[in-house]
Amino acid sequence: MRGVTDADFEEQVLRAERPVLVEFTARWCGPCRQLGPVLESIAEEERVRFDVVALDVDVSPDVSVKYGVLGTPTLMVFKDGEPVWSRVGARSKRKLLEELAELP
């Protein structure tokens, strides 16, 4: 799972050819650290379906503010440059995969 910043968010996420799952995270966030291995695993398993990236809200606050991120971890899926799905908080791999299965 690679990181993105305010500087490359548009290119890496909004202009991506396929959906991108973005984790809005922070180094100090315990639930974010807990979710990290889950997202790494999903990134590998679902690599054909979508990309998974992380954005540190402290390092790159502009994108976080633009999309109304108020807590970490926040997960958003962007498709064709628009957010199409979002959840706040850590969850199990099974639960997250069930939720992502709802995506078109």
DSSP bridge pairs for 23: 54, 75
Output the six-digit token pair for 47.
């690599």
User: In the chain, what are the helix, strand and coil shares in percent, each to the nearest 5?
Assistant: 35, 25, 40
Annotated catalytic residue, options 21, 22, 29, 96: 29
- The dihedral sign for the CA sequence 72, 37, 54, 27: positive
Distance of alpha carbon 24 from the chain centroid:
6
In the residue annotation, 63 being an active-site residue is answered as no
Annotated catalytic residue, options 13, 22, 32, 39: 32
In the residue annotation, 29 being an active-site residue is answered as yes
Which positions are catalytic? 29, 32
